[in-house]
Structure 1
């Protein structure tokens, strides 16, 4: 976990023998969720992993992450704002279906010219107290230009001590993960 005054980032590793598919170890998920719950009140909480934890419909390839949906829900419950991923090489932003729906799965394109349904590109993330803006920038042959923009309502409970996830008490989904 890398902490900066207004942002907290946690990296992930994978250990599935078929490296083109992902697998989530729920013990690692619990440890990462615990670390992210320690983020300061109001910090933007970001988890980065290669494979999308939630399967995107219509992408040119699948992530097929074993236990990915379960992990995404645990991270959402822990107050994660963004789960940033790659692998499918297509930009997207979608809410994780839990409670306030203010945790998001966000996919990024690739800088490679090997297209997968989107031009080469990367995401720019901007945020304030109420909104997270994800801008997919795409290479047009001359420069990177805005390709798609998502304005995502920011979770409000992590900005107040009384409603932020407990730094010491795991949520129900995290406790139940086996």
Structure 2
């Protein structure tokens, strides 16, 4: 089994600093095999915000798979936005925009979906999709394959189609061919876990999509600050969502969801029974 801590949308520059120490201490106790941060480390891509984000990340365990979000590209500085869109991110966080972690149980691939030409939307390129295919093609079939992006490939019903990452259907076809199991994302400041089966009707394939809320930002959009702890086994995934308790000033588990894999199809698992069979 492998344990991942999944943070997203830290938004340094609009951070609730009271959350930082309790979050760090809890992550240390969880002792994840991989720490995932799915974008928007800053609020406005300013040097001081990146410095603060970098300093905090340095207090957290590794290995770390980090991808940028749309807020990590300068919004108002036109030159930086279009000529040097992720220069500060590369300087302070990492110059690897598509990081990879692979061991004998999991493969975690980060993919940069942040783009200069959009204000908040994201996109995957043909090159990135082919890179995912190539990276996963030679892996042992027993390895659980995980793709991390800032912008989501799937969403709950109450969100709009335009919130999905651009070229998602094309990418999903390659994910099906490559056996991608889990899609981790952020961006919406809303927690969610589910199967891609309804949105993408691909024969004998459905990935597990896991959305993280904002771990530390003051911009909660109606949801408490939260993050995910994901326990991955070859045929089973268990997701604990931790939420901030404003009374006790700490994070605690607010719900747990389980999913099982049958072939290449991930399905919710409730009280010992597959949800699809209820």
Rounded to whole Å, the distance in 1 between the matches of 2:243 and 2:162 is: 22
Q: Which has the larger radius of gyration?
A: 2
8 Å Cα contact 2:205-2:264 kept in structure 1: no
8 Å Cα contact 1:63-1:87 kept in structure 2: no
TM-score (norm 2): 0.51
Deviation sequence 1:98-157 (CA, Å, 0-9, x none): 334441121111112321232101111012232111121111122212223221112546
Q: Rate the CA distance shift 1:64–1:137 in 2: closer, same or farther, 3 A.
A: same
1:131: which partner in 2? 236
- Give the one of 149, 154, 158 matched to 1:54: 154
Rounded to whole Å, the distance in 2 between the matches of 1:17 and 1:74 is: 25
1:74 alignment partner, SS class: helix
Where does structure 2 lack aligned partners over 5 or more consecutive residues? 1-99, 266-278
8 Å Cα contact 1:110-1:121 kept in structure 2: yes
TM-score (norm 1): 0.77
Rounded to whole Å, the distance in 2 between the matches of 1:92 and 1:109 is: 8
Task: Give the aligned CA root-mean-square deviation in angstroms.
Answer: 2.4
2:122: which partner in 1? 22
- Count of residue pairs brought into register by the alignment: 158
Deviates further, 92-101 or 23-32: 92-101
Q: 1:115 and 2:214 equivalent?
A: no
Rounded to whole Å, the distance in 2 between the matches of 1:82 and 1:3 is: 14
1:71: which partner in 2? 171
1:149: which partner in 2? 256
Where does structure 1 lack aligned partners over 5 or more consecutive residues? 159-178
1:109 alignment partner, SS class: coil
Q: 1:12 and 2:12 equivalent?
A: no
Task: For residue 17 of structure 1, report the CA deviation from its aligned partner.
Answer: 1.0
Rounded to whole Å, the distance in 1 between the matches of 2:117 and 2:175 is: 24
Rounded to whole Å, the distance in 2 between the matches of 1:90 and 1:47 is: 18
Rounded to whole Å, the distance in 1 between the matches of 2:139 and 2:258 is: 23
Structure ranking higher in helix proportion: 2
Deviation sequence 1:149-175 (CA, Å, 0-9, x none): 2211125469xxxxxxxxxxxxxxxxx
8 Å Cα contact 2:144-2:234 kept in structure 1: no
